[in-house]
Amino acid sequence: MMNNKVIIIGGGASGMVAAIQAKKNGNDVTIFEANKKPGRKILVTGNGHCNLTNKDIKPDMFYSDDMTFIKELIKRFSYKDTLSFFNSIGLLTREKKNLIYPMSNQARSVVEALESQCHILGVKFIHKHVKSIEKIQKHMFSIKTDDGMMHSCDKLIIACGSAAGNKEYSNEGIIDYIMKTGHDYKTMVPALCGLCCDEKSFFSKVKGIRSDVKVSVLINDEEIKIPHNDTEGELQLTEYGLSGIVIFQISSIVSRALRNNNKVTVVVDFLPDFEDVVVIANLLLSQDYAAKKNLMDINRGILNEDLSKELVIRYAEEINRKDLTISKKNITAAELISFLSYLKSVKFEISKVNPSNAQIYTGGVSTKDINPLTMESKRVSGLYIIGEMLNAEGICGGYNLQLAWSEGYIAGGSIRL
C-alpha cells in the first residue's frame, strides 16, 4: 500500500509532535516552517524553562466553544501521556508544585528532543512560509510557499499557532482557506496578557508597584463566574494598566468580551486577607495618633504607601470629597469603613488588552468543526487543524502546551496507511 504524503504547516509544539507520530505510522512527512529553526516559541515558554504541562488537568482550566472537545482530549491524552511521550524521546522532566518542567530546566532541551526525534525518524523540514492552500482533487491538497513553489500532499495538518510573541506573523491566506471551506472561525485576539486602562495619570504614579489581591470581572456591570477560580495572586501595576499572573488568568475572558464589544470592568480587592473592614477600621481608629491624622496617613502601613496615597486621591475624586485627601482630620469610623470597603472593590474599566506580552491568542477555528478522536476537520476530509489555531485554550500553568502536545499526538497518530 502507498504511504500518505503528509504536509504539516508549522514546526512548533503541536506540529513537531504530529510529525513524529505520523512518521512512526510510516507516512512520508514534511514540515514547512517559516523560521530558520523549528520550535522558536517553545524556547521562550516558562521564561526559558518551558512549563510543559501540569499535573492538575481539569476541564475548568481550559476554554473552548465546545467543552466536550476538551473533555475528550483530556481523556485521550493526559499529562501522564505527555510525560511518557517526552520520556520516550529522551527528555526527563521534574515537577514543581504541579507544574512540569524539563529536568534541565531549559526550554532548549524540549526543542532539541523534538527536533532530533524528527531527524532520527526522517521527517523532512522545508524552511519556507506557506502563503496559501488549495484542495486540487478529492484527496489532494496543494500549498504555495513564499517563493511561489507549489507542493502537494494527501493529508494536510495546519499547526501554525498564533501571533503571540511573533510580530511578523501573517496567515491571511491560510485563514481565507479555512473560512472559504465553511469552518466557523472567530478572529484571534491576544490573551494571557496585561489589560490596558485609560487612567493614564493614576497608572503613571503607581507603575512598578506589586500587591497581593483578589480579582473579579464584570461584563456589562454583571459579575461573571470564573471557572478556574484562580483569582488571587500578585497584581503588577504598570504604565498601561494591570498585569501579573492574576490578571493573565482572567485576560482570556476579558479579551473575548471586548472582542464582542462589551463593557469590561476588573474589580480589585486590595485587602483580600480581611473579610470584615469594620475590624480593621476599629484597629486603626484605636491607635492614639488616628484622631490627628488625615485619611492618607491613617492608612499608611496597610498597603504600599504610594499606592495607598493614589487610591485615597482616586476615591476622594469618585465620591467628590477632595477634603479627604489632605485637610480633613478626625476621620470618623463611617468615613474609614467606607474607604476600606472601597479598597475591597476598586473598579478599573478595561479599554483593550496588551498584545505585546500575550502568551496566546484566543479564538480561531471552532472545535465543533473538528473530530477530537482524530483532529480531522468535519468540513474537509484529509485536513487536520491543531494547536492554537483552534478555538481551545488553557490558563497559565502548562495548559496550552498540554493542548498542543495532545492535539499533535492525536492528529499524527490518526494518519495511518
Ligand X SMILES: Cc1cc2nc3c(=O)[nH]c(=O)nc-3n(C[C@H](O)[C@H](O)[C@H](O)COP(=O)(O)OP(=O)(O)OC[C@H]3O[C@@H](n4cnc5c(N)ncnc54)[C@H](O)[C@@H]3O)c2cc1C
Residue linked to cell 459579575? 223
Determine if 153 is a binding residue for ligand X (CB under 6 A): no
| Beta carbon of residue 276, minimum distance to ligand X (angstroms, whole number) | 38
Binds ligand X by CB under 6 A, chosen from 387, 395, 411, 412:
387
Stretch binding ligand X (CB under 6 A), from 5-13, 219-227, 271-279, 368-376: 5-13
Please, what's the b/e burial string for 228-266 (b: 16 or more CB within 10 A of its CB; e: otherwise)? bebbebebbbbebbbbbebbbbbbbbbbbbbeeeeebbb
Q: Label the pairing between strands 124-126 and 28-32.
A: parallel
Copy the grid coordinates of residue 126.
522545508
Q: Per-residue x/- mask for ligand X, residues 256 to 275, rule CB under 6 A? A: --------------------
| Beta carbon of residue 12, minimum distance to ligand X (angstroms, whole number) | 2
The enclosing H or E element of 131 equals strand 130-137
Residue (359 or 367) nearer to ligand X, CB: 359
Residue (126 or 140) nearer to ligand X, CB: 126
Binds ligand X by CB under 6 A, chosen from 4, 21, 51, 117:
51
Copy the grid coordinates of residue 78.
493526559
Binds ligand X by CB under 6 A, chosen from 9, 157, 298, 375:
9
Nearest to 57 by CA among 41, 42, 76: 76
Binds ligand X by CB under 6 A, chosen from 6, 7, 15, 383:
15
| Beta carbon of residue 257, minimum distance to ligand X (angstroms, whole number) | 21
State the Cα–Cα distance between residues 346 and 235, nearest whole angstrom. Answer: 13
Q: Which of residues 71-100 bind ligand X (CB under 6 A)?
A: none
Copy the grid coordinates of residue 36.
530558520
Stretch binding ligand X (CB under 6 A), from 44-52, 110-118, 147-155, 339-347: 44-52
Residue (45 or 211) nearer to ligand X, CB: 45
Name beta bridge partners: 126: 32
| Beta carbon of residue 400, minimum distance to ligand X (angstroms, whole number) | 3
Binds ligand X by CB under 6 A, chosen from 388, 395, 410, 415:
388
> Residues 233, 230, 357, 270: is their CA dihedral positive or negative?
negative
State the Cα–Cα distance between residues 241 and 336, nearest whole angstrom. Answer: 27
Determine if 12 is a binding residue for ligand X (CB under 6 A): yes
Single-letter code of the amino acid located at 244:
G
Residue (113 or 174) nearer to ligand X, CB: 174
Binds ligand X by CB under 6 A, chosen from 27, 64, 251, 400:
400
Binds ligand X by CB under 6 A, chosen from 64, 171, 391, 406:
171
Stretch binding ligand X (CB under 6 A), from 33-41, 194-202, 231-239, 258-266: 33-41
Determine if 296 is a binding residue for ligand X (CB under 6 A): no
Q: Per-residue x/- mask for ligand X, residues 108 to 137, rule CB under 6 A? A: ---------------------xx-------
Binds ligand X by CB under 6 A, chosen from 102, 161, 190, 355:
161
Q: Which of residues 203-232 bind ligand X (CB under 6 A)?
A: none
Q: Do the Cβ atoms of 81 and 105 come closer than 8 Å? A: no
> Residues 340, 342, 345, 351: is their CA dihedral positive or negative?
negative
State the Cα–Cα distance between residues 368 and 378, nearest whole angstrom. Answer: 8
Determine if 406 is a binding residue for ligand X (CB under 6 A): no
Q: Do the Cβ atoms of 155 and 169 come closer than 8 Å? A: no
Residue linked to cell 496566546? 360
- Give the count of residues interacting with ligand X (CB under 6 A): 37
The C-alpha torsion from 282 through 286 and 287 to 292, rounded to 10°, is 90
> Residues 42, 30, 362, 169: is their CA dihedral positive or negative?
positive
Stretch binding ligand X (CB under 6 A), from 30-38, 81-89, 285-293, 299-307: 30-38
Q: Do the Cβ atoms of 213 and 267 come closer than 8 Å? A: no
Name beta bridge partners: 9: 32, 158
Q: Which residues contact ligand X by CB under 6 A? A: 9-15, 32-35, 40-42, 44-46, 50-51, 129-130, 159-161, 164-165, 171, 174, 359-360, 387-388, 398-401, 404
